[in-house]
Amino acid sequence: QVQLVESGGGLVQAGGSLRLSCAASRSIFSINAMGWYRQAPGKQRELVAINTSGGSTVYADSVKGRFNVSRDNATNTIYLQMNSLKPEDTAVYYCKLVVSVLSYWGQGTQVIVSS
């Protein structure tokens, strides 16, 4: 079992930046994949970015060049740096870890981007 605790969401003006954090209750060194998803009101949850154990990272087209995923194995934390935020980035953001065949989700953190 893995617990994930997200933080860093909030209200920001368009063009601003936020960094989301996701702290895992166990080592993330050997995970299969980690990433971030988001769900806007009335919409389905969608992939933002995912990083695999092979080292590759896939970003949604809508965030390429603005968002960056990183990880700190020493603190078992993954991050989502979000720059040049737009109102359409407003959503609840969730981190996800894949360990073997199991997926774990955080509780979500709200991001609101005002125009």
Question: CA-CA distance, 12 to 24, in Å (whole number)?
Answer: 26
17: Cα within 13 Å, side-chain hemisphere: 8
Supply the pLDDT for residue 84.
Answer: 98
Contacts (Cβ under 8 Å, ≥6 apart) of 114? 11, 12, 13, 14, 87
Question: Which residue from 93, 88, 35 is spatially nearest to 59, judged by alpha carbons?
Answer: 35
> pLDDT tens across 70-102, in order?
988 888 899 999 999 999 999 999 999 988 888
- Tell me the pLDDT band of 54, cut-offs 50, 70 and 90: confident
Task: Provide the pLDDT confidence category of residue 61 given band limits of 50, 70 and 90.
Answer: very high
